Amino acid sequence: MVDRTTPEFRSYLELYEKASLHELGRLADDARWKLHPENAVTYIIDRNINYTNVCVADCKFCAFYRRPKHPDGYLLSYEEIGRKIDELKSIGGVQILMQGGHNPYLPFEWYLDLLRYIKRHHPIHIHGFSPSEVDFFAGRFGMTIEEVIRALMAAGLDSIPGGG
Ligand code: SF4
């Protein structure tokens, strides 16, 4: 639990509210060099898998999604997702970034079974479900955010991307 009364937290909050983007960038770079002084940057090979483009969020900037019942809407099967993971692994990939639209047709069990299926048949690090999807699941399935995350993790989710 973050202690919001500490001077350190207050200074972070002040930075968040008042610092310019460039100033934040410079401070972030300073912090990066403090934590990792060696002059090396590493990377992993991963693959984005967008399991469905059906979405009801209607983000104005998004050209990816399709409303329910649109003829271009799609949902990948578990087997199709598994094949994409196998392709990734064949070139040395170690992680999938798996995100999709807010699809109103899918029950929560569909996501849990998908995670279990991947871990059982195509094991890999699953970085998945943006915060907006987690929030959507909570509202749609009458759960708290914490319950959603715990259930996803128990089924195989390893980490959650920051975007979305
Ligand atoms: S939630 Fe994602 S898929 Fe849906 S409209 Fe927004 S950006 Fe597009």
So what's the pLDDT on residue 161?
A: 94
The answer, as to whether pTM is greater than 0.75, is yes
Where in the chain are the domains?
1-41, 46-155
Distance (angstroms) between ligand 1 centre and the Cα of 100 equals 8
User: Cβ–Cβ contacts within 10 Å for residue 140, how many?
Assistant: 16
Residue owning the nearest CA to atom 4 of ligand 1: 101
So what's the pLDDT on residue 47?
A: 98
Q: Is 51 in the pocket of ligand 1 (CB under 6 A)?
A: no
**Below-70 pLDDT ranges, the chain:** 1-4
So what's the pLDDT on residue 1?
A: 56
Residue owning the nearest CA to atom 2 of ligand 1: 101
Write out the two tokens for 22.
């460039």
Topology at the third CATH level for domain 46-155: Transcription Regulator spoIIAA (3.30.750)
Q: Is 134 in the pocket of ligand 1 (CB under 6 A)?
A: no
Q: Under DSSP, is residue 17 helix (H, G, I), strand (E, B) or coil?
A: helix
**Strand 125-128 relative to strand 46-50: parallel, antiparallel, unpaired?**
unpaired
Nearest to 116 by CA among 61, 71, 154: 154
